[in-house]
Every structure is written in structure tokens, then in C-alpha cells.
Structure 1
Amino acid sequence: MKQHNCIIVRGGGDLATGVIQALWRAGFPVVSLEVAAPSAIRRQVALSEAVYDGRCTVEDMTAVRCHTYEDVQQAWEKNQIPLMIDPEGKAIADLKPAVVVDAILAKKNLGTTRDMAPCVIGLGPGFTAGCDVDYIIETKRGHNLGRIITDGTAAANTGIPGIIAGYGKERVMHSPAAGYVYGLVRIGDMVEQGDPVAIITGTPQDTVSICTEGTLIRASLTGLVRGLIRDGYPVTPGFKTADIDPRKEELKNCFTISDKARCLGGAVLTAVLMDQKKKGVQKR
């Protein structure tokens, strides 16, 4: 099976979703490849939720979980985004895409190689342009966010989230213990610093209402709950579990693709078109 100009995006998290939207809106048939248990925090704007629910709608596009390439074709015919569980990228050899985009954002290369497609693009650190990918998109916030790198590497990972309203690392909460996370609030809720936002239990629970014992995760600052990991997700100490936006007036941001994701999407689309133009010139 081969779809002309098919683009495979490895990943379906919130930043990958911004990339997928830009490519899909431009008319490219896109396939998203995900792991069996995605750990997206900004679940309201991550197409990876289709892994759990079978389908997921973010803004104007819908992703559907596909098991076969026939399912993929049917999704394309309905103008949907096919999403497959395929962390190893086995579908790449079968679909023979024109472009592969590694949008896993793992801060390291998890197996993407330059021979996977005529054009291979990596997001963020972990890649070397001209070696394992053709282009790299800078993902670090600042003046170079979205820059297309054709030689060298992206900025190294600092481990510090981007600054929003003066807050960086304070915005993100991590698990203080191993176990299973259950939210005590919902994405979009307003919380005060110190409020319990989730509980970690030693064993899986049927519902959060019966969680009577466990370790609480408390709000690191006052603001809107922008991200919260899915109920029942198994975590280890230090695992990212929640994200707070200190801007109380930005409720809609919890449910729409972020400025960073849109910037990365535009950069990937530009790199794809730039590569096609370059190869078209070479053919002539």
C-alpha cells in the first residue's frame, strides 16, 4: 500500500498534534504512530488519546485508531487522521512515505534513520541534520523556536520548561512516588497552590472515588490545570504528571493547540515544501 505524498509522524502528543494539523490542513495524507500506552499530560489536545478511546477530536481534525492498512485508507477517505500503535515504525516500510517526522520529543533518537523516507525530519535534540535526519526543527522556546536546521544539532535539553507568566519548572508537577495516578481535579479546573490535584495509589483502582490511601500530588502554584495524566497511569518517582498555567484568564488554552505546537507545525510544513522544491529543481 502506498499513498502519494503520505507523511508518517512518529508521535501523537500535544506538540506532534500541532505538526499533524499543519500537514493535514495543507492536504497531506498523514499517519500517526504511537506507543501502546501514551503518557500525554495535555490530553485534551493530543491525538494520542485515540489509542485509549478509539477516536479523538482536537479542534477541526479527528484521529481514529487503525489496526490494518485498510483502516488507514478508510480514515483518509473520511479526511481523518489514522493512528496506529507502532512504536518501532514497522508501518514505514509498508507505507513507503514521502516524509517521516520524528515528533516523539524524547530528547534522544529512539530509532529514526535517514533511510526511512526521501525526507526525514526530527524535532528537538537527539538528532544530527545530515546524519540521521535531513532536517531538525528547533523546539526550545526563544528566538530560534521553529528554526529549520540543515547542518548540526538542536539546542541541548535544559530540563527546564518554558517560562509562562514568570514561571518555569514550577509549572510542572512530578510524581513523588511509584504507583498509579488518579486525578482529583479536571483539566481546566482552577486550583490554589497546595491543593491536592491527584493521588498515587499502590494498586490500580476501579474509580478514584474509592482511593482512600495514597500519596497526594499537590498544586505547585495557583492557576489552571492545563495538563493531567490519564487516570490509572503507572508512574515512577519523578514522572511528569501535571501542568499548571498561572494565567487564570487563559481557560481556552487548555483545549486548543498551543502556540509552540503551531510554530513547530508550520516549521515542519515549511521543511517539507522546501525539500520538495529542492528535489524538484534537481530533477529539472
Structure 2
Amino acid sequence: MMNEKPYSTRRKTFDVRVVIRGAGDLATAIGHRLHKAGITVIHTETAAPTTVRRLVSFSSAIQHGMFTVEGVTAKLCPMTVEDVEAALDDGLVPVVIDPTLAILAIWPADVVIDATIAKKAPTVDLMSYAPMVVALGPCFVVGKHCHAAIETCRGHDLGRVYTTHGEEALENTHTPGDLGGESHRRVIRAPCIGLITPLVSIGSTVRTGDALVRVADVEVRAPMGGLVRGMVSEGMVCSRVGFKLGDLDPRGLSMGGEEKRKLCTHISDKARNIAGAALECVVTYMTTG
């Protein structure tokens, strides 16, 4: 007889605990996949996340208290064992404000996944954080910074798990992935520093030249037409030129309403691929120790 309780809200099935550093779209895809697989998982984040794809990111729980992505709900929790465990018992994914992973001192993890996509070598000894440390993207060397690294660059090796000593993901190409034939133009970046004021909402369709966001007193206009797939939160302060403000998807111009909505509210193909790789790493730890 089938269990009447949906598997996506079970407390846990396996005796393994995972802490994910970050709660942006890629990190959320991982947390979502592990949670639905019955693995106990929590996320840590900064107090002011710079997330662009906010509608598919558990980091939005920091602003809203709770946030749901594809049927899985994250909850902002104080950094106490009692609050974290209470959220887990309710079938939720806890998110704590803790960029330095201090939570590990009171809630030790079997696996730590660094999903911040820092694109630079860590300055701390990540491998001391847990028996299994997994890192996403370039600059993490297996055996030096982590026990396993996951490829995040689009292409044939996307989602590949590196486990051999000395291996690492491909170097940062500084080229955004191609969507609908567009790469650099689809990513909206800050021309100056200052207060950020979005002028369009995620899910809006814009034309070339439309005003998208204001940084200080400078309006940033769309270099191309497309669907606004992501945009940073209002009230953030941009501290550097080139800061990522938003994301346009040209594919949205030729799609109907439901398809366009999914581009904004559903986990991407890239993120699902990476989430599967992370699940592989956790299962490998569970079966081999």
C-alpha cells in the first residue's frame, strides 16, 4: 500500500545530513532534489542575497519568511537546533543566515555542498567542514579544496562529477551560457555603483530599448527583446561596476503564457542536471562512507 503522505514532504528517509552553502537557483535545485529524495538538507545564505532568479531560489525566504519552489517550501529559521529541527519536522527546508557555516558547530553535517559559485579558490579549509565536501564550478581542486567537484559549464560535461585527486571543473569562460542564440547581451549588468531600483518585474516581456532597472540615477535599458527571467531585489546597493542585475531570455518572445511562466518559475535544465550530480555525490557518500 502506498504511503498517503507525499514523498516531497517527508521528514527524512536516510540518516544523512546535508548543509548547502548558498540558496540561489543552482543551490535551490540541489536542495529541492535532495529533499524530494528523502535526504535532510538545510541551506545557509547571506543576509542580503544577490539572487537574480528569485522565483526559483530558496534565498527568497529571507525576504518573505517562507518561499515555495515547485512544491517544496523553504523557511527562514534562526540559527538554533530547535528551530531548524522544527522546520524539518514540518517537511520544510530550513534557510539560515550564516555565510560562514557557523551552523556546523551546533548542527554537524555529513556532507557540505558549496553552491555559491564563487569562481575563485576558497580562503578557508573547506575539507575540514564535513566528511564529504562537494563544490560547484571552477577553482575548486579535488583533494585540495573538496572531495568532489561538479562541472557547471554548459556543454557535454555539464553535471560531471570530478573525484580524482587534482581534478577540477573547467575554467571560468566569462561567457554566459547561450539561450535562444544570445549570450552576453541577455545578462544585464550595472554601469555604475549605487541604489538599485528595478523598473520591470520578473515575467515581464520587454523590447529593445525598454528601461529595465535604475542604478543610482542611471537607467539601464534592454539591449534586446525578451522575457525578464530574473531581476535582483529592490533596495539593494550595487558596490561594483559589472554587477549582475538581471537576466533576459529571448525564447520567451515566441512562447505562450504557460511556457513563459515556466521559464521564470521552474528549475532550469542546467540546474536540474547539476542537482542530479549533487545527489550522486550524496548517495556515493551514503554507500561508501
TM value normalised by structure 2: 0.89
Q: Aligned match of 1:121 in 122, 130, 134?
A: 134
Deviation at 1:182, TM superposition (A): 1.0
The secondary structure found in structure 1 opposite 2:106 is helix
Deviation at 1:37, TM superposition (A): 0.7
Q: Map of 1:1-150 to 2, 5 A cutoff?
A: 4-67=15-78, 68-110=80-122, 111=124, 113-150=126-163
Q: Indicate whether 1:247 and 2:251 are aligned.
A: yes
Q: Is this contact kept in 2: 1:187–1:227, CA < 8 A?
A: yes
Aligned to 2:6: none
Deviations 1:200-228 (A, max 9, x none): 22xxxxxxxxxxxx210111211100011
Give the whole-Å Cα distance in 1 for the aligned partners of 2:288 and 2:144: 18
Deviation at 1:184, TM superposition (A): 1.1
Give the whole-Å Cα distance in 1 for the aligned partners of 2:230 and 2:180: 17
Deviation at 1:46, TM superposition (A): 0.7
Aligned to 1:208: none
Give the AA of the match of 1:179: G
Corresponding pairs, count: 265
The secondary structure found in structure 2 opposite 1:241 is strand
Aligned to 1:206: none
Give the AA of the match of 1:257: I
- Judged with a 3 Å threshold, the aligned counterparts in structure 2 of structure 1 residues 49 and 166 are, in CA distance, closer, same or farther, namely same
Give the whole-Å Cα distance in 2 for the aligned partners of 1:237 and 1:108: 19
Q: Is this contact kept in 2: 1:63–1:83, CA < 8 A?
A: yes
Identity of aligned residues (%): 40
Tell which deviates more after alignment, 107-116 or 237-246: 107-116
Aligned to 1:231: 234
Deviation at 1:58, TM superposition (A): 0.9
Give the AA of the match of 2:127: R
Give the AA of the match of 1:266: G
Q: Is this contact kept in 2: 1:172–1:220, CA < 8 A?
A: no
Give the whole-Å Cα distance in 2 for the aligned partners of 1:239 and 1:104: 15
Extract structure 1 runs of 4+ deviating beyond 6 A: none
Deviations 1:125-167 (A, max 9, x none): 1211122211000000000000000121100001111011111
Gapped regions of structure 1 (runs ≥ 5): 202-213, 280-284
Give the whole-Å Cα distance in 2 for the aligned partners of 1:47 and 1:261: 13
Deviations 1:160-190 (A, max 9, x none): 1101111111110101111111111110110
Give the whole-Å Cα distance in 2 for the aligned partners of 1:112 and 1:193: 46
Gapped regions of structure 2 (runs ≥ 5): 1-13
Deviation at 1:4, TM superposition (A): 3.9
Give the whole-Å Cα distance in 1 for the aligned partners of 2:40 and 2:288: 21
Give the whole-Å Cα distance in 2 for the aligned partners of 1:274 and 1:74: 28
Give the whole-Å Cα distance in 2 for the aligned partners of 1:47 and 1:94: 22
Aligned to 1:162: 177
Q: Is this contact kept in 1: 2:16–2:286, CA < 8 A?
A: no
Give the AA of the match of 2:126: T
Give the AA of the match of 1:19: I
Give the whole-Å Cα distance in 1 for the aligned partners of 2:233 and 2:244: 12
TM value normalised by structure 1: 0.90
Aligned to 2:210: 195
